């Protein structure tokens, strides 16, 4: 299915509690979520036929909707069951899942209190976010011109569609300059994250990562912190200034899509793909596969 536009793929999608053909999972052009960004979503990966940390992702989806001022009309348990059913119907083993919830079309203005809340779940095969041959060599990042906003100006704890507009712009600009992605600073000028992933640095055997006080504290981010601590690696969450980048030895990104991806370059700064980055790439892959094996054994 690689290269096939997403609206032309085959299969089924869970839509408002029903299974519909892929081509029939449509919304009206006057949907509030399209015009005003009142939409939240999740990104989940399945390994060996089991979705990694499914319940945690679904609970975050509910929490995101609450931050955005609406309630998803399906419980965590219903959504989890729908995801498990979908992976069987689509005959998927290693896949990506996209649950999404949005305000409908009853009102078309900034106010939309009476709009129906809709939800859909789609799933498809999806390989590595970056080219496999590039991952262990380390990807190259540009420096983004846009910054993550002040928490007083945006609902950063919600995985809301509208918050990704500047991420798309930054990634497009980086790719146009020959980079794989971009590193974003925050409103204070501190290092924040990449366009869709959290960032870690290695210095003298310790992991350093920005405090997630104006951007999403990723589920993969927290998993990698746990994996590092199991190895006895100290993890320091703190404010990181861009001029510190020259002092770090290693760098990697974490996220459901990117998994654990080493970075070799951020603008003028260079990093090695060292022992800690390689170990955590391996540990993360082992963790998701072990989870899949445990879930299959339990069932």
Say if residues 1 and 65 touch (Cβ distance below 8 Å).
no
Say if residues 171 and 181 touch (Cβ distance below 8 Å).
yes
Bin 91: left if φ > 0, else alpha if -120 < ψ < 50, else beta.
Answer: left
d(CA 113, CA 295): 40
d(CA 184, CA 256): 18
d(CA 140, CA 181): 7
d(CA 238, CA 127): 32
Crossing angle (nearest 10°) for helices 76-89 and 54-67: 130
d(CA 57, CA 251): 25
* 8 DSSP assignment: G
* 246 DSSP assignment: G
Say if residues 71 and 126 touch (Cβ distance below 8 Å).
no
Number of helices (H), then strands (E), in the chain:
7, 16
d(CA 131, CA 139): 9
Query: Comparing C-alpha atoms, which of 196, 1, 5 is closest to residue 92?
Result: 1
Exactly one of 53, 88, 131, 159 is catalytic; which is it? 159
Q: Is 145 a catalytic residue?
A: no
Provide the annotated active-site residues.
159
């Amino acid at each position: 299915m690689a290269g096939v536009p997403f609206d032309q793929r085959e299969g089924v999608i869970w839509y408002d509690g029903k299974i519909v053909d892929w081509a029939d999972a449509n919304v009206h052009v006057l949907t509030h979520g399209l015009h005003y960004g009142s939409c939240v979503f999740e990104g989940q990966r399945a390994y060996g036929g089991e979705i990694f940390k499914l319940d945690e992702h679904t609970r975050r989806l509910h929490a995101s909707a609450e931050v955005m001022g609406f309630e998803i009309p399906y419980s965590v348990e219903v959504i989890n069951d729908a995801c498990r059913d979908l992976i069987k119907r689509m005959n998927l083993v290693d896949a990506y899942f996209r649950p999404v919830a949005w305000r409908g079309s009853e009102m078309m203005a900034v106010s939309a209190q009476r709009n129906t809340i809709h939800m859909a779940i789609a799933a498809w095969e999806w390989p590595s976010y970056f080219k496999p041959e590039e991952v262990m060599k380390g990807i190259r990042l540009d420096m983004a011109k846009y910054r993550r906003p002040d928490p007083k100006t945006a609902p950063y704890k919600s995985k809301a569609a509208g918050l990704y507009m500047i991420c798309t712009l930054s990634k497009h600009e980086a790719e146009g300059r020959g980079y794989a992605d971009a590193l974003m600073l925050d409103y204070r000028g501190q290092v924040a994250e990449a366009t869709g992933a959290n960032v870690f640095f290695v210095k003298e055997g310790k992991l350093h990562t920005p405090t997630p006080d104006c951007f999403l504290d990723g589920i993969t981010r927290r998993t990698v912190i746990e994996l590092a601590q199991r190895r006895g690696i100290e993890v320091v969450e703190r404010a990181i200034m861009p001029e510190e980048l020259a002092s770090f030895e290693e760098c990697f990104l974490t996220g459901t899509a990117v998994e654990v991806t080493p970075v070799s370059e951020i603008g003028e700064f260079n990093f090695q793909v060292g022992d800690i980055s390689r170990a955590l790439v391996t540990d993360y892959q082992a963790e998701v596969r072990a989870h899949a094996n445990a879930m299959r054994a339990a069932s």
